[in-house]
Structure 1
């Protein structure tokens, strides 16, 4: 899964929060419950069009094995309010750092969820079984995430037609919904969203858009999370990391957590 200044130490920007791309109240970006602004950076800042990610108040990360060792205490104190952690891919690959990250994020009291990278040469049922075998059914976890994007895979160059994509992805998410008791969030990219008419799905979305506000790249699409850079820098993590925002105010974030983390 794939702007900011060098240091996000003191954020004085007025923020226009947008739950589902709508309007909201103004205020500095804060980590819920911490009272201090995020301290992030970006190794390749972008000139934003249509809205700035810093106009949102609740920020988080998504990670995989490539982040290496993480100081979760520093991550939390830097202003990270949530983390999505790669768990599985296809029907036979598990991220070797998932279990460790899952435990360490919980110890740091950072809300966290697991995501699955969908593979087009395995059935949705096979992939759901693999995810369930690797991700605990745990009260208080964020909803599982289904990562849908086109990939240049040497082992699976297959690009199925849209009807097949939607059929197998629906099987996957329905199985996870029954097992975990929460509807999975759909993570996707602009090209995949358009190619497969994902706007027709009545699902909760996490949208990747690293060159413009989602209201421009996904016109009319409601969303809960926006991945706005793959080159973020966060204290406690060496190298680049994906940065995200929740599309709402701190109060809306608390309400979302209360609803989705039952």
Structure 2
């Protein structure tokens, strides 16, 4: 059910995006574009040499966070050039990230578009996991699309590694149920080995790809993507310790158009 608070927060996010086109007219000013020569506030505690094909030429950068980031100063995060945040909400069919609700509220209050992600387990059905995610994550106007995190788990309680056809079947069920509830088809986050082992390229979805040693075109040849997680050792003012950093595939104008198409309504 859409709450009044959710609607108000969503409208704030939509206004923030719309005003980013013409900040000289007043309203919310867009976060500055990150990267060397554009914004020196974002850093990396273990920088990689990208040989000319790195993420820093991208205009739109964001973070993904979980409880382990602790207290976050979201205003500082936004002012450092962060344009979006994906926040861990759930795992499997019964685990809930205790930092989710607080981050969800605080990111919205700082006018940072944010979405929730679910860490998929292979010991529960896609339907069970979808029900758990929907139970925990509010449907709010202005939220980013939900994300299904598909990677091999190291869980002692769920060591299963099902065959590709089973993984894709259950993930598709999750995406169908969750997409219908939120009105936006989920994004797939995945890693190089999981993508390769399970031949995920034939799944119908936008992709968020992890690649910390090469441009995504190298380990994911031919795969289109919307987001690129390029480091797990990022430095962002307002967050203590390392955090994941991500780049959006297009320009800032593309980002505004993407948000207009993909925000929850």
Give the TM-score taking structure 2 as reference length: 0.85
Cα distance, 1:203 vs. partner?
1.0
Is residue 87 of structure 2 the alignment partner of residue 85 of structure 1? yes
Q: Which residue of 2 aligns with 1:72?
A: 74
Which structure shows the bigger proportion of residues in helix conformation?
2
Map residues 102-141 of structure 1 onto 2, 5 A cutoff: 102-141=104-143
Q: Aligned to 1:215, what secondary structure does the other structure show?
A: coil
Matches of 1:217 and 1:49, distance apart in 2: 15
Of 230, 233, 238 in structure 1, the residue corresponding to residue 232 of structure 2 is 230
Counterparts in 2 of 1:107 and 1:166: CA distance versus 1, 3 Å: same
Structure 2: 5+ residue runs without aligned partners? 1-28
Q: Which residue of 1 aligns with 2:222?
A: 220
- Residue pair 2:31, 2:83 contacting (<8 A) in 1 also: no
Give the TM-score taking structure 1 as reference length: 0.86
Is residue 244 of structure 2 the alignment partner of residue 242 of structure 1? yes
Q: Which residue of 2 aligns with 1:167?
A: 169
Matches of 2:204 and 2:73, distance apart in 1: 37
Q: Which runs of 4+ in 1 moved over 4 A?
A: none
Give a deviation string over 1:5-46, Cα, whole Å, max 9, x none.
Answer: xxxxxxxxxxxxxxxxxxxxxxxxxxx823464311111111
Q: Aligned to 1:220, what secondary structure does the other structure show?
A: coil
Query: Which segment drifts farther, 45-54 or 170-179?
Result: 45-54
- Residue pair 1:147, 1:186 contacting (<8 A) in 2 also: yes
Aligned Cα root-mean-square deviation (Å): 1.1
Map residues 140-179 of structure 1 onto 2, 5 A cutoff: 140-179=142-181
Structure 1: 5+ residue runs without aligned partners? 1-31
Q: Report how many aligned residue pairs link the two structures.
A: 231
